[in-house]
Structure 1
Amino acid sequence: MAAFNVTYSDTSTLILTGIPGLEAAHIWISIPFSAFYIISLLGNFMLLSVVGKEQTLHKPMYLLLCMLALTDIATPTFVVPKVLGIFWFNLKGITVAGCLTQMFFLHTVSVMHSATLVTMAFDRYVAICNPLRYSTILSNARVAKLGLVGLIRAVLFILPLPLLMSQRPFCTNRIIPHTQCEHIAVAKMVCGDITVTRIYGLVLMFVVMGFDLMLIALSYILIIRAVLRISSKEAHQKALNTCTAHICVMLTYYTPGLFSNLTHRFGKGIAPHIHIILADLYLLIPPMLNPIIYGIKTKELRDKVGKYTCRR
C-alpha cells in the first residue's frame, strides 16, 4: 500500500478525534470496546485451534468457519488498537498513507466476510438439496479456491477507493470526526470534486451487498422449497437446524452493516456520535458473537470445544 501516490505530503498527518461530544467518556467507553475485542480474539482463535487440531472437523463447513474466523479477527484488529490509543493516550494522529491503508484493509476484509457468508449459504444449499453429491461438489480444495476468488474480488473492488483519494489533496482542516478511517469520513476531508469517489462507494455498497444478499436469498429459497417436500417433521427440523447458525450470523452482520452505512450517508438528523458508535459496534459485535453462535448451534463443534476446555 506504500505505492499509493500521496504526492502532496507523505509526512502530513490527519487527526482522528474519537467520538466527538463524548471525549470525557472515552476511558469508560474503552472498557466495553476492549472487552468485546478480547472476547472476539479468544473465541475466534479457539475456533481455529479446535478445527486445526481435530481431523474430524477438516470438512468444507468448518473450513468456511475458519475463513469467517480469520475475517472476524482481522476486522477489529485493523481498528481497535488505534481506537484504544485515542481513548487511553490521546494518540489521534495518523499519516495519510496510514489512513488510506487502514481504509483499504478494513473494507477489503468486510467484502471478503460477505463473500464467505455467500459461500456458506451455498454450502448449506448443497448439504440439504444435494446431500449425496456434497463431497463431490464441495471439497476442501474447492472451498479454498472459492475463498481465494472472494479475496481477489474484495481487493479489486476496494483498491480504487484509496487510489482515487490519493490523487487529491486533503483540505486544511485535517480533522476526521471518527475513530477510524472509514471511507465516507475520509472522503469529506478531500478537497475538490469527489463525486466519482462518492458514487463509486455507494454503488459498491449496493452491488456487493445487494448481489451477495440476492445469492444468499436464492440459496434459502431453494432450501425452503426442498425442505417443504420432505414429509417427515423430524427431517424438517434437522434440515432447518443446519441453517439456524448461518442465519443468525447473517443477521448480526448485514443488519447493522446496512443500517450503519445508510444512516451515515443519508441520516442527516442523527447525531454524529451515534453514527460513529454504530460503525464501531458493527466492527465489534459480529466478530464477538459469531464463534459463540456456531459454538452453541453446531453440536459437533460444541463437543470438540468442550473436550479441549474440560481437558485443560
Structure 2
Amino acid sequence: MASLEIDALNKTYGSVRALRDMTFDVRAGEIFGFVGSNGAGKSTTMRIVLGVLAQDSGEVRWDSAPLGPDTRRRIGYMPEERGLYPRMKVGEQLVYLARLHGMDTAAARASMERWTETLGIEERRGDEVLKLSLGNQQRVQLAAALVHEPDILVLDEPFSGLDPVAVDVMSGVLREQAAAGRPVVFSSHQLELVERLSDRVGIVRAGSMVALGGIDELRTTEHRRWAVDGPPDSAWAAGVPEVRVLESSGTTTVVEAAGTGPDEVDQAVLRAALAAGPVREFSLVRPSLTELYRDVVAADVPAEQVETEEGAA
C-alpha cells in the first residue's frame, strides 16, 4: 500500500490561522500518533484529509496523487464527536454505512458481524446507539470506521472514554490494521498510550508541526543523562569533567553530561560512582513522551500564533 502525504497545508478562519504549512506523512503499515493541545490543529488537519474542510493552500496525496472523492471513500474516519445515528440500531447502521461505501448487502452484513464480534459488541447489534454506554458507542464508532474495509485509517481521539480492556482491544485492532499495510493516524491526549502504540509521533503547536519522528528519536536528548543508584552522597560526581548533578535523592543521583563522547563519559561516571561505594543500578535516562510534549508545548510561541491556540479547531 501507499503513503498518505500531508504537504504544506494552510487554513485560516477569519483572522485565526489554524494551520501553518502543516506537513507530514503516514507510511504504509505505520501507526502515526498525532498529538497537541486542544485547538492546535489536529482535527482541522483530519477534516481536510477527509474533504470535510477545504484548505487555503497545500495538498493531501495518496500514492503520490491528490486525494479525490474515490480515494476518500477508502478512508476509515472516526470523528472526535460521535457521528452515529442515535436512534438507529447498531447492526442496521453499520450495514447501511458499509453500503454507502460501495459494499453489497451480503458483504456489508458479513463485515458488520465480524467487527461487532471483534470489538465485543455483537450482543448490541439490535440496540439503538443512544441506549449504549459511552464506551460501547465508541466501539460502534470504530466499527463504523472499519466496516467498509478501508485502505487508510484516520481516527480522532479513538480511545476517549474507553476502559482499560477496551483500550487493549482497540490497540490490537490498530496494530492489526497497520500489520496489513494500512497507514493509521490517530490523535490522543493519552500520551503514554501514544508512546506505546505509535511507530512515529508528530507534535503540533499553534497549527504547526514542531516535533516529528520515531519515539526513540524524539526521546534522544542533546546531552545524555544517567541515573545512578549507589553512593548516598552525590559529591562523587563533582570530579567527573563536564558532568553536572540534576537531582539527588537518597541513594539515587541523576547526572547530565555534555561535550565528551558518550562512551567515555558514561564509563567515567560509572568509575567515579564505584570509587565512592557500591552501585546497584546504572541506567541511561531518556525523557518520556509526556515530558517531551510538555517541553515542546510550553516553549515560547510567537505572538502572532497565540490567537491560534485560543481559537483554532
The normalised TM-score by structure 2 is: 0.24
Q: Which has the higher helix share?
A: 1
Q: Output the TM-score relative to the length of structure 1.
A: 0.25
Larger radius of gyration: 2
